[in-house]
Amino acid sequence: MYDLDYRAAVARAAAGDRGELANLFSLRLDGVAAEGHAEVLYRLRKGLGSQRFDAELAKQSAVIRKGVSQLVDHHEENLGVSGEPTEPGRGMVEAKPATPSFFAAGNFETGISMEPGGGTVVQDPADPDNRVMAFTTEDYFEHALTVPPDVKGVRFSFRVWIPPTVSLETLEPGRAPPGVKIRLRVIDPQQNSELREWIVRPESGWQELSATIHDLGERRESFSLEASWFAGTIYIDDIEITSLYPAFLDEEMYEFYQTPAQVTYIYVVNPLFSREEVTRVGSPKITDQKVSVDFDYGGTRENLWFVEKSNDGTTASVVVGPPDAGGDLYQLRKIDGRWAITGIESGENL
Ligand SMILES: [Ca+2]
C-alpha cells in the first residue's frame, strides 16, 4: 500500500487537501496495511490539529467515521495508552517519575544496614552480579522514609521473586492460601500506618508490584515490607520510592492531550488499560473542557466524566467520576507550558 500514489495522497492531505483527506478516510485496508494506515491517520490528526481533522471526518458517513475513529484509537493505544504494568516507561505518568527514587539503597547493591530479625542481603540466585534482599518465613524490612516535606504523594515499587520451591503455609487443615502475602506499610511517628497488601503466587521469575499513596500526610517516619503465609526463601529487589507529582505525560501525549480535562483523562485511563478486566467501550468524546468515556468493568458499564471546574491559566482543577456521583478533584499546574497533575482530593472530602 505504500506506493507512490498513497504517499502522494498523504502528503497532499497533510498539506491541507480536504478531498485527499476524505479519500484516505474511505480507504479500507486489512492486516499490516491497516496498522500503517492507522498510524498515518493518527499523524494527520496531530499534524492538522484534532479540530480540523474531526471537522472533516464529521462530514463522512457513520460507517467511515466509526472506521477512522477505531483506527486512530487503535494506534493511540499501541503508542502506549495500554501499557503492561511491569514495563515502566512504556505508558506514561506513573511509570515516569519526576524525581529519582528517594531510596537509593533499595537495589541492595551499595550496602544497607539491616535490622536483626529482618531480611538479609544475599546474592541473587539467578544472577551473580545482583544483590537482593532475602526473606525467610515471617521476615520483615523496615527503613526510614526520607521523602521531602513538599512531596505529597509517592509511588512505591519493588520486585518480588517467589521460587516455585516455596511452600505455602496451610491456614486450615487441607486449605492452602492462594499465594504469599506481601504487605507494605507507611508509618507515622505514632506508629499508625497505611497498608497495601498483595497475594503473590509463586512464579518462575520476578514480578513487579507497585502502590501509590496519594497523600502521605504524617506517614513519613518509615516504611516496611512484610511477607507471610509461606515457608522457604523469597527475594525482593529494586525498592523505589518516587514522587507522584507533578505527574507529566509523555512528550507525544502532550501533542494530543493539552487541556486540563484531557491531561487528567489520559492520566486516569492509562492505568485502567493495564487491567485485563477493564475495556473501553467506543471512542471517548473529547472537547477542551470535558471528556466523556465509557468503560466496561468485567460486565458492568460505567460512564466517566472529566470536567474542568476551574482554570486561571496557571492552576486548574478537574472533577473525575460518574456523572451522577461526586467524583474526585484533580489539581493541575502549568509547568513549562504544560499541565501536570499536582494532587488529588478524594470525592469523600468534597
Ligand atoms: Ca539488586
Residues 127 and 231 in one domain: yes
Query: What range defines the domain where residue 338 resides?
Result: 249-350
- Ligand 1 centre to CA of 294 (Å) is 41
- Ligand 1 centre to CA of 120 (Å) is 12
- Ligand 1 centre to CA of 131 (Å) is 4
Express as a percent the part of the chain with pLDDT over 90: 32
CA distance 200 to 162: 8
Q: Does 331 reside within a domain?
A: yes
Residues 239 and 257 in one domain: no
- Ligand 1 centre to CA of 89 (Å) is 19
Quote the pLDDT of residue 169: 82
- Ligand 1 centre to CA of 221 (Å) is 24
* pLDDT tens figures, 135-152: 997 788 999 999 887 677
Residues 56 and 177 in one domain: no
Domain termination site, one of 222, 243, 264:
243
- Ligand 1 centre to CA of 245 (Å) is 26
Instruction: Compute the residue count for the chain.
Output: 350
Q: Does 94 reside within a domain?
A: no
Residues 263 and 321 in one domain: yes
Residues 203 and 272 in one domain: no
Nearest to residue 227, comparing CAs of 144, 165, 168, 145?
168
Quote the pLDDT of residue 78: 60
- Ligand 1 centre to CA of 332 (Å) is 35
- Ligand 1 centre to CA of 232 (Å) is 20
Band (4; pLDDT cuts 50, 70, 90): low
- Ligand 1 centre to CA of 164 (Å) is 20
| Widest Cα–Cα separation across the chain | 74
Residue 96 has pLDDT above 50, yes or no: no
- Ligand 1 centre to CA of 275 (Å) is 28
Residue 165 has pLDDT above 80, yes or no: yes
- Ligand 1 centre to CA of 130 (Å) is 5
CA distance 107 to 261: 37
* pLDDT tens figures, 290-303: 999 998 888 888 88
We report the CATH number of the domain holding residue 107 as 2.60.120.260
How does the average pLDDT of the chain come out, rounded? 82
Quote the pLDDT of residue 246: 75
CA distance 319 to 141: 38
- Ligand 1 centre to CA of 238 (Å) is 6
Q: Which CA distances in Å does 155 have to 28, 207, 239, 240, 330?
A: 44, 16, 10, 8, 17
Band (97; pLDDT cuts 50, 70, 90): very low
Residues 61 and 119 in one domain: no
Residues 213 and 113 in one domain: yes
Nearest to residue 11, comparing CAs of 1, 23, 20?
20
Residues 220 and 270 in one domain: no
Identify the weakest region by mean pLDDT among 115-119, 180-184, 220-224, 231-235.
115-119
- Ligand 1 centre to CA of 237 (Å) is 5
Residues 112 and 205 in one domain: yes
Identify the weakest region by mean pLDDT among 120-134, 205-219, 240-254.
240-254
Band (314; pLDDT cuts 50, 70, 90): very high
- Ligand 1 centre to CA of 129 (Å) is 8
Q: Does 18 reside within a domain?
A: yes
Nearest to residue 166, comparing CAs of 139, 130, 143?
139
In terms of phi and psi (left: phi > 0; alpha: psi -120 to 50; beta: otherwise), the region of 80 is left
Q: Does 87 reside within a domain?
A: no
Residues 118 and 32 in one domain: no
- Ligand 1 centre to CA of 337 (Å) is 38
Quote the pLDDT of residue 274: 66
Quote the pLDDT of residue 3: 54
- Mean pLDDT over 228-246 rounds to 89
- Ligand 1 centre to CA of 84 (Å) is 22
**Grid cell at residue 309:** 471546574
- Ligand 1 centre to CA of 266 (Å) is 32
Residue 89 has pLDDT above 70, yes or no: no
Band (99; pLDDT cuts 50, 70, 90): low
H-helix or E-strand spanning residue 347: none
- Ligand 1 centre to CA of 110 (Å) is 9
Sign of the CA dihedral running 267, 268, 273, 274? positive
Quote the pLDDT of residue 85: 31
Band (163; pLDDT cuts 50, 70, 90): very high
Question: In three state form, how does the secondary structure of 131-163 look?
Answer: EEEEEECCCEEEEECCCCCCCCCEEEEEEEECC
- Ligand 1 centre to CA of 107 (Å) is 4
Which residues partner with 191 through β-bridges? none
- Ligand 1 centre to CA of 239 (Å) is 9
Residue 241 has pLDDT above 90, yes or no: yes
Residue 200 has pLDDT above 50, yes or no: yes
CA distance 67 to 22: 13
- Ligand 1 centre to CA of 122 (Å) is 9
* pLDDT tens figures, 32-88: 677 778 878 888 888 788 888 888 898 888 888 888 988 888 777 665 432 223 333
Residues 53 and 111 in one domain: no
Domain termination site, one of 81, 113, 135:
81
Instruction: Report CA 49 to chain centroid distance, whole Å.
Output: 26
Cβ atoms 330, 315 nearer than 8 A: no
Q: Is 174 exposed, middle or buried (0-12, 13-18, 19+ CB in 10 A)?
A: exposed
Residues having C-beta closer than 5 Å to ion ligand 1: 107-108, 130-131, 237
Cβ atoms 104, 110 nearer than 8 A: yes
Quote the pLDDT of residue 79: 58
Nearest to residue 140, comparing CAs of 217, 228, 55?
228
Residues 179 and 206 in one domain: yes
Nearest to residue 161, comparing CAs of 189, 122, 202?
202
- Ligand 1 centre to CA of 236 (Å) is 8
Report the 10 Å Cβ neighbour count for 248: 21
Report the 10 Å Cβ neighbour count for 71: 21
- Mean pLDDT over 300-324 rounds to 91
Quote the pLDDT of residue 268: 85
CA distance 92 to 57: 28
- Ligand 1 centre to CA of 26 (Å) is 53
- Ligand 1 centre to CA of 313 (Å) is 44
Q: What is the tally of structural domains in the chain?
A: 3
DSSP state of 322: -
Domain termination site, one of 227, 243, 259:
243
Residue 19 has pLDDT above 70, yes or no: yes
Quote the pLDDT of residue 234: 95
The better pLDDT of the pair 172, 286 is held by 286
Supply the Cα-derived Rg of the chain in whole angstroms. 24
Q: Does 91 reside within a domain?
A: no
The better pLDDT of the pair 95, 325 is held by 325
Q: Does 88 reside within a domain?
A: no
Strands across the sheet with 140-144, in order? Answer: 140-144, 222-228, 180-187, 193-200
